[in-house]
Chains A and B, each alone.
Chain A
Amino acid sequence: MRISEEARGSVGGERVEDGRPGAGATFLEIENLQKKFAQTTAVEHVQLEVTRGEFVSFLGPSGCGKTTTLRIIAGFEAPSSGAIRLDGVDITHRPPHQRHVGMVFQSYALFPNMTVAQNVGFGLKVAKKPAALIKQRVEEMLNLIKLPALGNRYPHQLSGGQQQRVALARALAIQPQVLLLDEPLSALDAKIRVALRQEIRTIQRELGITTIYVTHDQEEALSLSDRIVIMSEGRVEQIGTPFEIYNFPRTSFVASFVGTLNILRGQVADPARGKIVIDGQEVIASRGLKDARVGEVCSVALRPEIVSLGEAAGDGNRMQGTVEDVNFLGSIVRVRVRFKDNAISLDLFNNPSLSLPQRGQAVTVSFPREAVLALETASSM
Chain B
Amino acid sequence: MKRSRLGPWLLMLFGVLYFFVPLLGTFEFSLRYLRGVYSLEAYRIVLADPRFGATVTYSTALALATIVVGVVLVVPTAYWIQLRLPGLRPVVEFITLLPLVIPAIVLVFGYLRIYNSSSLLPLTGSERTTDLLLIFSYVTLALPYMYRAVDTGLRAIDVRSLTEAAQSLGAGWPMILFRVIFPNVRVAVLSGAFLTFAIVIGEFTMASLLDRPAFGPYLQLMGANRAYEPSALAIISFGITWACMGLIQVFGRGAHGQVAGAH
Chain A residues close to B by CB (< 8 Å): 74-76, 95-103, 105, 107, 109-113, 115, 122-123, 126-127, 152-154, 156-157, 167, 170-171, 174, 180
Contact = CB atoms under 8 A, between A and B. Distances in A.
B192 to A, nearest CB: 18
Contacts, number: 75
Given A103-B164, A126-B175, A152-B262, A111 B180 contact: yes
Interface in B161-200: 161-162, 164-172, 175, 179-180, 183-184, 186
A305 B2 CA distance: 68
Given A74-B164, A112-B184, A174-B169, 5 more contacts: A74-B168, A96-B164, A97-B169, A102-B168, A126-B170
Given A105-B164, A113-B183, A97 B170 contact: yes
Given A105-B161, A109-B164, A154 B171 contact: no
6 shortest interchain CB distances as A-B pairs: A123-B169, A109-B161, A109-B165, A103-B168, A113-B183, A96-B167
Interface residues of B, number: 22
A107 B161 CA distance: 8
B24 interface: no
A153 B260 CA distance: 10
B75 to A, nearest CB: 15
Contacts of B259: 112, 154, 156
B171 A97 contact: yes
A171 B175 CA distance: 17
A309 to B, nearest CB: 50
Contact of A97 (B157, B158, B168, B179): B168
B35 interface: no
B170 A76 contact: no
21 contacts: A74-B164, A75-B167, A99-B168, A101-B168, A105-B164, A109-B165, A111-B165, A111-B166, A111-B184, A112-B157, A112-B184, A113-B183, A122-B166, A123-B170, A126-B170, A157-B262, A157-B263, A167-B165, A170-B165, A170-B169, A171-B169
Contacts of A112: 157, 184, 259
A185 to B, nearest CB: 16
Contacts of B184: 111-113
**Which of B166, B172, B263 is the most central at the interface, judged by chain A CB atoms within 10 Å of its CB?**
B166
A152 B170 CA distance: 23
Contact of A76 (B164, B262, B263): B164
Contacts of B186: 113
Contacts of A157: 262-263
A174 B262 contact: no
Interface string B244-263: 00000000000000010011
A112 B171 CA distance: 17
B238 to A, nearest CB: 34
Interface in B15-54: none
B262 A103 contact: no
A126 B183 contact: no
A126 B176 CA distance: 10
Interface in B217-253: none
Contact of B262 (A115, A123, A180): A115
Contact of A103 (B165, B175, B179): B165
Contact of A96 (B168, B262, B263): B168
Nearest to B162: A109
Contacts of B183: 113
Contacts of A101: 168
Given A97-B170, A123-B170, A174-B170, A153 B262 contact: yes
**Which of B167, B171, B183 is the most central at the interface, judged by chain A CB atoms within 10 Å of its CB?**
B167
A60 B161 CA distance: 22
Contacts of B180: 111, 113
**Which of B165, B169, B180, B263 is the most central at the interface, judged by chain A CB atoms within 10 Å of its CB?**
B169
Given A109-B158, A152-B262, A156-B259, A171 B170 contact: no
A270 B167 CA distance: 61
A74 B179 CA distance: 21
B29 to A, nearest CB: 48
A111 B162 contact: yes
A31 B183 CA distance: 40
A122 B65 CA distance: 32
B34 to A, nearest CB: 54
A139 B6 CA distance: 62
Nearest to B256: A156
